[in-house]
Structure 1
Amino acid sequence: MTTLLLARHGLTHLTGPVLAGWTPDVHLSTAGQAQAEALAARLATLELDAIVSSPLERCQETAQAIADGRVARVQTDERFGECRYGEWTGRPLGELAKDPLWKVVQTHPSAVTFPGGESLPAVQHRAVTAVREWNERLGPEAVYLVCSHGDVIKAIVADAMGLHLDQFQRIAADPASLTAIRYTPLRPFVLRLNDVGGDVTGLRPPEGSEDGDGGENLTGSDAAVGGGAGTT
């Protein structure tokens, strides 16, 4: 049961008013650095088998804050990089909201290819393919972290929940938030979504839990009817 932690990068001076995309040299702001350090402190007691990051600076800096003091070093995978927004890159969101394509992005994202850029289905495909390959590489007992971007994280979560990409705008991924997905042989389980606080010790499954959790005939791929007792 491989456990994936998805962390969005911390705030930058462009986060919110501008669609940064692949704009170069976009670093964490002072507030973003504080967010990254707070996330690192939350995760300090959780053993991570790998730390993987988008190549963009804001993710690299967030991932490095988490990696400091750990054996695992930051590895880069471009497939977790931001959507290539093409001609939309670097433009104010208020301006983009007046573009006819904006409504399609909001209501029918599976049909969107950004002018001069990438389609949202292509973003989801590359990111989910990367997740599956890292899961296979690290093995069923691994807990690892990927630092990425809002739309990429939302696309991965939509896949894990069995949602059509057109539903991914219903998912939130705030700066420096944590989302956790556990991949079992039958299905993924979304354990945390857009989590910005709280204890994380329960995110590593107990020893010997790959085939079950101690309940009679209940395997690690089974959903507990009634919701279960949670992590104790």
Structure 2
Amino acid sequence: MTTVLFVRHGRTTANSSGVLAGWTPGVFLDDRGEEQAAALAARIAELPLAAVVTSPLERCRQTSEAVLTARLGTKFALDAGAQVDERVGECRYGDWTGQELKKLAEDPLWKTVQTHPSAVTFPGPGGEALRTTQARAVDAVRDWNERIAAEHGPEAMYLVCSHGDVIKALVADALGMHLDLFQRIQVDPCSLTVITYGAHRPTVGRLNDTGGSVAGLLPPPDGRHGPASGDAVVGGGAGAP
């Protein structure tokens, strides 16, 4: 039952100016994004993370660094820095990269992105299919689940800092939703999404969480985690204490 905290990077200069950044280098958090990252980092500092995995893009590295900095000097400090995995990097938007969203909304492809995203391959050199983005991200998470469980035990928790469309695609996979429905999912800057990967199925515990206590994510003091193998509690259970 490995638990993954998926964190979208904080707000960037591209977000605040309405530009699709994609893999554009040098896109950093704006002032609001830095505040969001610091607040998120403080909020989850009490959680026993086994590792922090990040997209290689600067905005995710900045957000991950905030998470690590908040843990310095605590019993949950991590010896290693954030571990970079390109597979959780942003979708490669091809010719759409760097363009204003209001302009892209006039492109005929925009409607397909909204209604039939599994059919979309972004135009131009290096443009990626959204289904490819989802597949590589799911593969990355499953690989990390195995590695983290082998090194830290099956109840371990770790964090992945990634991007909005990537996290939405991972949530759709966890919910058993077709990729064509992933636009129904909202993932805001510096939001927290929590998925536990059990023996039989993933369970989405939090989605687009942008505030409040994370005490319910702490391991129970008696070591019990409810039904074995991540089985769902019939009737819904009592929730977090």
Following superposition, the deviation at residue 231 of structure 1 comes to 1.6
- AA aligned to 1:177 is S
Matched residue, 1:113: 121
Aligned residue runs from structure 1 range 173-188, under 5 A:
173-188=187-202
- Unaligned runs of 5+ residues in structure 2 are none
3-state secondary structure, aligned to 1:11: coil
Do structure 1's residue 199 and structure 2's residue 213 form an aligned pair? Answer: yes
Separation in 2, partners of 1:141, 1:158:
23
Aligned residue runs from structure 1 range 116-195, under 5 A:
116=124, 117-139=127-149, 140-195=154-209
Matched residue, 2:103: 95
Separation in 1, partners of 2:46, 2:197:
22
Q: Deviations over 1:80-128 (max 9, x none)?
A: 1000000000000000000000000000000000002000000000000
- AA aligned to 2:29 is L
Separation in 1, partners of 2:218, 2:87:
25
Following superposition, the deviation at residue 179 of structure 1 comes to 0.1
Matched residue, 1:20: 21
Separation in 1, partners of 2:27, 2:230:
40
Q: Higher mean Cα deviation, 112-121 or 68-77? A: 68-77
Following superposition, the deviation at residue 220 of structure 1 comes to 3.6
Separation in 2, partners of 1:137, 1:48:
14
- AA aligned to 2:236 is G
The alignment-based identity, stated in percent, is 63
Separation in 1, partners of 2:135, 2:165:
12
Separation in 2, partners of 1:7, 1:30:
18
3-state secondary structure, aligned to 2:207: strand
Following superposition, the deviation at residue 30 of structure 1 comes to 0.8
Asked whether the 8 Å contact 1:11–1:176 carries over to 2, the reply is yes
Following superposition, the deviation at residue 31 of structure 1 comes to 0.8
Following superposition, the deviation at residue 203 of structure 1 comes to 1.6
Following superposition, the deviation at residue 47 of structure 1 comes to 1.2
Following superposition, the deviation at residue 221 of structure 1 comes to 2.2
TM-score, normalised by the number of residues in structure 2 = 0.91
Matched residue, 2:66: 65
- Unaligned runs of 5+ residues in structure 1 are none
Matched residue, 1:219: 228
Runs of 4+ in 1 over 6 A off after TM superposition: none
3-state secondary structure, aligned to 1:21: coil
Following superposition, the deviation at residue 201 of structure 1 comes to 2.2
